[in-house]
């Protein structure tokens, strides 16, 4: 398979996940009382890469980065917003889905990273509805196809205009020989509960479905005559607003630009440093705990806004992870380290817990939950290295539990004068941060070992030195300084020598023992099959459907079923 290396548009050197509404090219965000309208109006010339035009409200990663930013701002900057209307700014088309030219020319890694991020954004819409009181209504006018319908599927309510031409469809299979892989197949069966045989018909019907059948088959929630459209939109918005527990009269928090400095191969953030060792094929993220104690109350937290340590640290960590995933494909391992005062980290956990009825504290916890899930879903080997001076406690200890392995030093490093490293659990490790499969990282670690879980709970608040942490099953290995450097070096070298694909597959299995949820099914059953198809000549080969789309030539298929 040819793997064309595409050039980023406008001479960009890497993909940047931070943006703000003043820079949006594809979305318009308007807030009116407790209703926000997110209007998709994609700039054809605004592709992230060179070489394609984003016609018919089709999207690429750049369009989705703006959407993710807008949704994030609605959560933090607009506590008053209870309902989000997803609308199209184009006539006759709601959204045509992922841009096919973009997909056809993308490397395999780019396709996979694109789908992963768009999936995370759509899961975020549902999380917002479930846990942050922002309900989403898709107002579908015109053709809503493929990824366009998958976006609508993330909403709480899908309204389809009944004008004889507006349709919903998932034409990926008949048109492109790929799957509706941004959650489409899974949401059709598991969220909308479309009957499996109807789903089979729907997903093989290129032209889509409209009108009454779309409702009967549960593909949309209602059809609305065009003349009554705005009236119904208003009524639905009011209805969904009543289901929201977003506060009235609260003041939002501005998500000010991240302060980060690129310094050679490192990025210096305020709460962490990302250092890259290219020869060793690893990134080291050193998290810095808070310098100050938490504020006295929720008002002071709001006043600190984006400077409030847990919010700032989550934003910076999120950005660092996305940067590695997307821009640093050759790195095999992410090493997590930390520096700081565990007591202060725990004080912030206690503060967020004490204020959990506050909308902003809730939002910050929800954000940490999403960042931690992003780590779970990052296809790099993850290791925590716990040394004297570290502050892996509570929320930061959750990162240790997200790792494939963890190494903890027994006692002091030769020549060091810092006290031995400790690991401390807090209530934050027992509930607020479920993994995509719906259970906590500790539950996932001790799948049927209730005694181990109870024992861990009994240790909340106790700083555990290495041997105690190992004994409690919280770290993989505890070594003293005689073995320390060698053990870690051997592990890092070994990991860098293995097949990256083998590791991706292995980690995607070992990280998610136990139950599956709709969310985890999207990243397992659906995504793994889609990734397989993204390798198959029938889709991506020279004569495959994805490459031949729009050329006038029909795809040629190898007809053997596998």
- Residues between 414 and 453 that touch a second copy (CB under 8 A): 444-449
Separation of alpha carbons 298 and 464, rounded Å? 31
Residue 490 binds to a second copy (criterion: CB under 8 A): no
Contacts of 183 (CB under 8 A, 6+ apart): 119, 122, 123, 150, 153, 154, 522, 526
417 burial (CB, 10 Å; 0-12 / 13-18 / 19+) is exposed
Stretch that binds a second copy, among 41-49, 88-96, 152-160, 194-202 (CB under 8 A): 194-202
Q: Which of 92, 193, 234, 489 binds a second copy (CB under 8 A)?
A: 193
Contact string (CB under 8 A) for a second copy, positions 447-486, x = contact? xxx-----------------------x--x----------
Q: Which of 291, 402, 401, 419 has the alpha carbon at shortest distance from 345? A: 291
Phi/psi of residue 339, each to 5°? -140, 130
Q: What's the full length of the chain, in residues?
A: 562
Element (H or E) spanning 381, and its range?
Answer: strand 381-386
Query: Binding segment for a second copy among 31-39, 84-92, 416-424, 537-545 (CB under 8 A)?
Result: 537-545
Name the one range near a second copy by CB under 8 A: 262-270, 291-299, 304-312, 398-406.
398-406
Write down the least CB distance from residue 144 to a second copy, Å.
Answer: 19
From 151-159, 188-196, 256-264, 269-277, give the range in contact with a second copy by CB under 8 A.
188-196
Q: For residue 260, how many other CB atoms are within 10 A of its CB?
A: 17
| Distance of alpha carbon 375 from the chain centroid | 9
Contact between 304 and 360 under an 8 Å Cβ cutoff? The reply is: no
Distance between CA atoms of residues 259 and 271, nearest Å: 10
Which of 172, 318, 349, 398 binds a second copy (CB under 8 A)? It is 172
Which of 198, 213, 229, 251 touches a second copy by CB under 8 A?
198
415: left (phi > 0), else alpha (psi -120 to 50), else beta?
left
Q: Which is nearer to a second copy, 173 or 250 (CB)?
A: 173
Of 500, 519, 547, 548, which one interacts with a second copy (CB under 8 A)? 500
Kindly tell me which of 248 and 562 has the beta carbon lying closer to a second copy: 562
Q: Site for a second copy (CB under 8 A): which residue of 38, 177, 276, 439?
A: 177
Comparing CB distances to a second copy, the nearer of 166 and 530 is 530
Question: How far are the Cα atoms of 167, 168, 203, 326, 413 from residue 208, in angstroms, in the given order?
Answer: 6, 5, 8, 33, 65
Nearer to a second copy, 160 or 203 (CB): 203
Q: Among the residues of 387-465, which ranges form H helices?
A: 395-402, 441-445, 450-458
Residue 107 Cβ, how far from a second copy at the closest point, in Å?
8
Size of site (CB under 8 A) for a second copy: 87
Q: Cβ distance 253 to 305 under 8 Å?
A: yes
Q: Is 452 helix (H, G, I), strand (E, B) or coil?
A: helix
The span from the CA of 55 to the CA of 291, in Å, is 49
Q: Which is nearer to a second copy, 144 or 545 (CB)?
A: 545
Considering only residues 27, 348, 484, 512, which one is a binding residue for a second copy as defined by CB under 8 A?
512
What residues numbered 64-123 form the site for a second copy, per CB under 8 A? 108-109, 112-113
Judged by CB under 8 A, does residue 178 bind a second copy? Answer: yes
Identify which range of 10-18, 92-100, 201-209, 424-432 contacts a second copy by CB under 8 A: 201-209
Which of 99, 119, 167, 538 contacts a second copy by CB under 8 A? 538
Q: Which of residues 374-393 bind a second copy (CB under 8 A)?
A: 379-380
SS3 content of the chain, % helix, strand, coil (to 5): 45, 15, 40
Stretch of residues binding a second copy (CB under 8 A), selected from 68-76, 226-234, 252-260, 504-512? 504-512
Name the one range near a second copy by CB under 8 A: 70-78, 222-230, 292-300, 513-521. Answer: 513-521
Q: Which of 212, 235, 532, 542 binds a second copy (CB under 8 A)?
A: 532
Contact status: 339 vs a second copy (CB under 8 A): no
Are 328 and 319 spatial neighbours (Cβ–Cβ below 8 Å)? no
Burial letters for 434-457: b for 16+ Cβ neighbours within 10 Å, e otherwise? bbbbebbbbbbbbeeeeebbeebe
Q: Are 62 and 14 in contact (CB under 8 A)?
A: no
The correct pick among 225, 419, 461, 515 for binding a second copy (CB under 8 A) is 515
196 lies in the binding site for a second copy (CB under 8 A): yes
Q: Convert 510-551 into a string of H (helix), E (strand) and C (coil).
A: HCCCCCCCHHHHHHHHHHHHHHHHCCCHHHHCCCCHHHHCCC
Q: Does 296 bind a second copy (CB under 8 A)?
A: no
Nearest distance in Å: CB 356, a second copy: 29
Shortest reach from residue 547's CB to a second copy, in Å: 12
In terms of CB distance, is 389 or 438 closer to a second copy?
Answer: 438
Contact 153, 97 (CB under 8 A): no
């Amino acid at each position: 398979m040819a793997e064309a290396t595409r050039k980023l548009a406008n001479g960009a050197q890497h993909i940047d996940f931070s943006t703000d509404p003043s820079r949006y090219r594809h979305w318009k965000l308007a807030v009116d009382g407790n209703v926000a309208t997110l209007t998709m109006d994609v700039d054809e010339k605004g592709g992230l890469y060179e070489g394609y035009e984003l016609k018919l409200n089709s999207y690429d990663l750049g369009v989705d980065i703006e959407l993710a930013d807008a949704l994030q701002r609605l959560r933090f900057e607009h506590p008053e917003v209870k309902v989000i209307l997803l609308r199209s700014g184009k006539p006759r088309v709601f959204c045509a889905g992922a841009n096919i030219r973009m997909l056809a020319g993308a490397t395999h890694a780019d396709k996979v990273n694109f789908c992963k991020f768009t999936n995370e954004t759509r899961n975020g819409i549902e999380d917002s509805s479930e846990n942050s009181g922002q309900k989403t209504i898709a107002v579908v006018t015109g053709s809503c196809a493929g990824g366009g319908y998958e976006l609508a599927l993330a909403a709480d309510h899908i309204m389809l205009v009944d004008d004889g031409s507006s349709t919903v469809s998932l034409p990926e299979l008949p048109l492109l020989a790929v799957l509706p892989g941004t959650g489409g197949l899974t949401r059709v069966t598991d969220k909308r509960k479309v009957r499996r045989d109807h789903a089979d018909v729907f997903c093989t019907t290129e032209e889509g479905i409209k009108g009454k059948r779309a409702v009967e088959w549960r593909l949309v929630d209602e059809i609305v005559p065009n003349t009554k459209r705005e009236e119904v939109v208003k009524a639905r918005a009011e209805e969904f607003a009543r289901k929201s527990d977003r506060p009235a009269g609260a003041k939002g928090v501005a998500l000010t630009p991240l302060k980060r400095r690129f310094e050679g191969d490192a990025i210096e953030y305020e709460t962490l440093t990302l250092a890259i060792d290219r020869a060793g094929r690893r990134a080291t993220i050193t998290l810095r705990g808070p310098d100050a104690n938490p504020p006295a109350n929720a008002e002071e937290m709001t006043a600190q806004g984006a400077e409030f340590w847990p919010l700032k640290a989550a934003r910076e960590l999120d950005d660092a992870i996305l940067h590695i995933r997307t821009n640093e494909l050759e790195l095999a391992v992410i090493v997590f380290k930390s520096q700081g005062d565990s007591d202060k980290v725990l004080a912030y956990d206690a503060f967020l817990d004490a204020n959990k009825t506050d909308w902003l504290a809730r939002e910050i916890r929800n954000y940490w939950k999403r960042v931690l899930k992003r780590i779970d879903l990052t296809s790099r080997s993850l290791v925590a290295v716990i040394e004297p001076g570290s502050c892996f406690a509570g929320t930061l200890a959750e990162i240790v539990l997200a790792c494939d392995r963890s190494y903890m030093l027994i006692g002091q490093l030769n020549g060091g004068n810092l006290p031995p490293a400790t690991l401390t659990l807090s209530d934050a490790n027992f509930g607020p941060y479920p993994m995509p499969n719906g259970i906590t990282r500790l539950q996932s670690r001790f799948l049927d070992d209730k005694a181990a879980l109870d024992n861990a709970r009994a240790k909340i608040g106790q700083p555990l030195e290495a041997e105690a942490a190992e004994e409690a099953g919280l770290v993989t290995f505890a070594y003293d300084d005689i073995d320390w450097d060698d053990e870690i070096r051997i592990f890092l070298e070994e990991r860098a020598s293995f097949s990256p694909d083998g590791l991706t597959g292995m980690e995607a299995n070992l990280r998610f023992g136990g139950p599956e949820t709709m969310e985890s099914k999207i990243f397992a059953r659906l995504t793994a099959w889609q990734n397989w198809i993204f390798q198959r000549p029938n889709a991506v080969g020279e004569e495959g459907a994805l490459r031949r789309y729009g050329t006038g030539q029909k795809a040629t298929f190898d007809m053997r079923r596998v």
